[in-house]
Structure 1
Amino acid sequence: MKVKLTEKILAILLLLIAVGALTIHPAQEISMSTLGGDKVDTFFNIVSYSILFYFLISYWKGFIYVITKSPLQFFFLAIVIFSILWSEDLSYTLKDIKGLIRIYFLAIYLAMRYPLREQMRLIAWALGISALLSMIFSAFIPGYIHISPELVGMWSGIYGHKNELGYMMNWSAGVFLHLALSSYRYRWLMWALCGLSICLIILTRSTTSLAILLTMILLLPIYQFFKKTNYKLQVIMITSALMLLIIVSILLINNAETVVGTSGKDLTLNGRSDLWELVIPKVLERPWLGYGYSGFWTSNAASNLRATYDWASNAHNGFLQLLLELGFLGFLTFAAGFIRFFVMALTRIVSVAEKPEDYWPMQMLIIIVIVNFSEARLLTPSWNWLMYITTSLSLTLSFQQTRIYK
């Protein structure tokens, strides 16, 4: 499918807005507002909605086609939207749902108009620009490196917090690493931007981001080995890998004090595990439908939690947050979609992959799972959710087309 240059430019502009490259945040202790104030946010919101509306009018048949081919994703969206009927804080639910719906429309557009390999090149533009801006602002402009005692000297780039910068640079390093290994054109540039992203991860001093980066790198030869083995051996390897993971997990648990001590953290993950112990009973109070999308933490139901942990504005675990907001109905629907995504990504590695860039969907799941163990980034109007939905829809369409041509 040939896409005109002007349309690609508009798509890159949407991705730049989604990645946060155009709404620049100083370090959070210096200012909570973006550079230029709320007017900048409002302007780019108007721009993104206008472009998406233009795409919707231009390709409405394609939008309907994608929706009909991916009913599970849109049943999940329907649960989110209908959660306004039981939300504990309707105003916050309505506010955040708008952003989530915008993410879905952008995801549909990307999946409909660009194959996965082309999507990687588009998001590389957005992530590369965000990496360059983060380096420039933190290196040369005051106010973009943390000065608070607990974070002093850690870089925040254009994202306001070192964890956010580290998280986004994981995406950037991952994309440029896979592109550098896959293509010959501009390979030097891909390696340079990958190196820049890794440097920024190091400068954030984020142990989680470093763990994600190392995991992605170490998995690359394993994916390549999958390609060279037969089906039975692949099953044996996957089973062995799961058993090894269980053994390593047991060893880590038994030696937890030593492990966390070396990373500068405590056994409660900076208080997160204590918070989770109080969140779980709240989940069980409304187990099936939850408290509504974005409806818990600002409601009276969370008052005791906020009083005990004044730093907690979310569950600091994406899966617990999902259970809080949408209950087991939403969680099981998401889990079904996640398992389907995993199977398609694994099938792509085993049966379809020709270059390392074809491993990217599986690597994406690795980022999402690790990050959401200690942060609630699973179901938010953010880059994380855009990449998850876009890739899920793209894999679905790709496998649909494969069946047609068989």
Structure 2
Amino acid sequence: MSAKTKETLLAIFLILVSAGVLTIKPAQEISMSPIGGDKVDTLLNIISYLILFYLSLIYWKSFLYVVTRNPLQFLLLAIVLFSMLWSEDLRNGLTYARGLIRIYLIAIYLALRFTLKEQMRFIALALGLGASLSMFFSTFMPDYIHKAPELEGMWTGIYGHKNELGYMMAWSTGVFLHLGLSVNRYRWLMWILCGISICLIILSRSTTSLTIVLTMVLLLPFFQFLKKTNYKLQVIMMSLGLMLLICFSLLLMNNVETLVGTSGKDLTLNGRSDLWEGVISQVWERPWFGYGYYGFWNSAAATNLRITFQWASNSHNGFLDLLLDLGFFGFLVFAAGFMRCLFMTLSRITYLAKKPEDYWPVQMLIIIIILNFTEARLLTPSWNWLMYVTTALTLTMEYQRNRQASTDKLTLITVQNTFST
């Protein structure tokens, strides 16, 4: 077995663990443990940490190089760790921070050893397996469909909750949509898995996930059109178009029940806006550095909110949770890193995009933005955060390689000209 094959297998294993397809969970009201019990999670975590420790020892110089090329991601992680000094929930903070470190190391490894196109194939494998298993278990085993009265009949797949299934299937639909429009080999399989993912979103009744899919579809012809315009117009139209589509997506999420005739509080923003008002008032109590990573919701400051909104264990908004945890200082570091990543994805479309799969990095950022308006998925050890950090670091490495190639080419031309004269 070649070294490249071994590295590929390790990368696939790490992505499978991160995507949650190796821990098959029934609906949460039935059991919080996966098949085989919590020992399965523990074993997979131990194996993944050992793999990352091994890889970081082998490639420690390269790991450090990636860190220095994108210091904003490292700075944000450092702020998280430093915030433990004033967190009132040190135990949970340390647990989730450990997960963030693992995600950061996985992202560095993927950015270092694999291109965006290779990563996209790994992601497709993991999400395709998750979609197939979710369809199988929910179809043939009732424990994988919600029984709770307020969620009855909504599919959970292998992820334990209907929102988790919908959120993962939004990612799955996106990757197979772009691959189905780009590849020739196994195109039929890409479209089948895309269709399965859409069906699972509908069966989970996840409004946010459906909104994400519709937004991605609407953006595809927009990106194609931009390829035919000049650079300045591209930048202006991309920025305006993204803002309009995000506003449209939020409006759709807020009124989707009226549009499609569904019912149930879990599908709307009902209750969240009142919660957000209370959260914002708490943000202003500690505006600069927050309450520490995962330090608010189990603190005395959150008591009134927890009593008033008994269903809330977070802000149901990733941006507000980030402000609570790290204050405006941490939020601005995140925003700077995110904008840098966004500009790199837009530049990539302008200069390099040839197929719809090349639009996938910017589509990933759009998924992250829309999702975090109704879910707290920023700066958590989740698939969402892995995709963001991996994209940011991979684009940075791609830029460095292209820059080095241009420098080498220019040097070669200079040398040739020197000898010719």
TM-score bucket (shorter structure) = over 0.9
User: How far has the Cα of 1:116 moved from its partner?
Assistant: 0.4
Deviation at 1:11, TM superposition (A): 1.2
2:147 partner SS: coil
How far does residue 85 in structure 1 lie from its aligned partner after superposition? 1.0
> Which residue of structure 1 aligns with residue 302 of structure 2?
302
* 1:279 paired residue number: 279
Residue 87 in structure 1 maps to residue 93 in structure 2: no
Shift of residue 348 of structure 1? 0.8
2:67 & 2:239 partners in 1: Cα distance? 34
Cα separation, partners in 2 of 1:284 and 1:111, compared to 1, 3 Å: same
SS at match of 2:233: helix
Change (3 A) 1:242 1:34: closer
Counterparts of 2:43 and 2:211 in 1: how far apart (Å)? 36
Distance across 2 between alignment mates of 1:24 and 1:278: 36
SS in 2 for 1:329: helix
Q: Report if aligned partners of 1:268, 1:274 keep a CA contact under 8 Å in 2.
A: no
Cα offsets for 1:226-285 (capped at 9, x unmatched): 111112432453465368569969998999996698775599812111101111111111
AA matched with 1:184: N
Q: Who is 2:330 aligned against?
A: 330
- Which residue is equivalent to 1:62? 62
When residues 252 and 173 of structure 1 are mapped into structure 2, their CA distance, relative to the original with a 3 A threshold, is closer
> Take 2:210 and 2:249, find their aligned partners in 1: how far apart are those partners?
19
2:237 matched residue in structure 1: 237
Which residue of 2 is the match for residue 97 of structure 1? Answer: 97
- Matched with 1:182 is 182
What are the ranges of 5 or more consecutive residues in structure 2 without an aligned counterpart? 407-421
Call closer, same or farther: CA 1:347–1:131 in 2, change over 3 Å.
same
Task: Give yes or no for contact 1:260–1:266 (8 Å, CA) kept in 2.
Answer: no
2:211 matched to 1:219? no
Residues 250 and 15 from structure 1, CA distance in 2 versus in 1: closer, same or farther, beyond 3 angstroms? closer
Q: Deviations over 1:42-85 (max 9, x none)?
A: 11111111111111112112101101111111011110111111
Q: Are the equivalent residues in 2 in contact too, given 1:207–1:263 (CA < 8 A)?
A: no
Report the RMSD for the aligned CA atoms in angstroms. Answer: 2.4
- The Cα offsets for residues 153-185 of structure 1, whole Å up to 9 and x where unpaired, read as 111000011110000011111111111111111
Q: Hey, what does 1:349 align to over in structure 2? A: 349
What letter is aligned with 2:323?
Answer: L
The C-alpha deviation readout for 1:197-226, integer Å capped at 9, x for no partner, is 111111111111111111111110100111
Normalising by structure 1, report the TM-score: 0.94
Give the corresponding residue for 1:400. 400
Assess if the C-alpha contact under 8 Å between 2:212 and 2:249 holds in 1. Answer: no
Mapped to 2, the partners of 1:45 and 1:158 lie a distance apart of 18
> Relative to structure 2, which stretch is displaced further, 101-110 or 27-36?
27-36
Partner of 2:369: 369
Give, in whole Å, the separation in 1 of the partners of 2:137 and 2:246: 42
- 1:3 touches 1:113 (CA, 8 Å); kept in 2? no
The number of residue pairs the alignment matches comes to 405
Equivalent position of 1:35 in the other structure: 35
Q: Deviations over 1:84-109 (max 9, x none)?
A: 11112111111111111001000000
**Aligned equivalents of 2:266, 2:43: Cα separation in 1:** 42
* Structure 1 equivalent of residue 409 of structure 2: none
1:169 matched residue in structure 2: 169
Deviations 1:1-33 (A, max 9, x none): x96212211211111110001111101111122
- 196-205 vs 388-397, which moves further: 196-205
User: Residues 287 and 41 of structure 1: is their aligned pair in 2 closer, same or farther, counting only changes over 3 Å?
Assistant: same
Relative to structure 2, which stretch is displaced further, 317-326 or 44-53?
Answer: 44-53
Unaligned runs of 5+ in 1: none
Decide whether the 8 Å contact of 1:201 with 1:209 is kept in 2: yes
Cα distance in 1 between the residues matched to 2:254 and 2:393: 40
> CA separation of 1:285/1:112 partners in 2, compared to 1, >3 Å: closer, same or farther?
same
Q: Structure 1 residues 197, 309: CA separation in 2 closer, same or farther (over 3 Å shift)?
A: same
Cα pair distance change 1:83/1:353, threshold 3 Å: same
**TM-score, normalised by the number of residues in structure 2:** 0.91
> Which deviates further from its counterpart, 50-59 or 239-248?
239-248
Amino acid at match of 1:404: Q
CA displacement, residues 274-319 of structure 1 (integer Å, 9 cap, x when unaligned): 1011111111111111011111111122111111111111010000
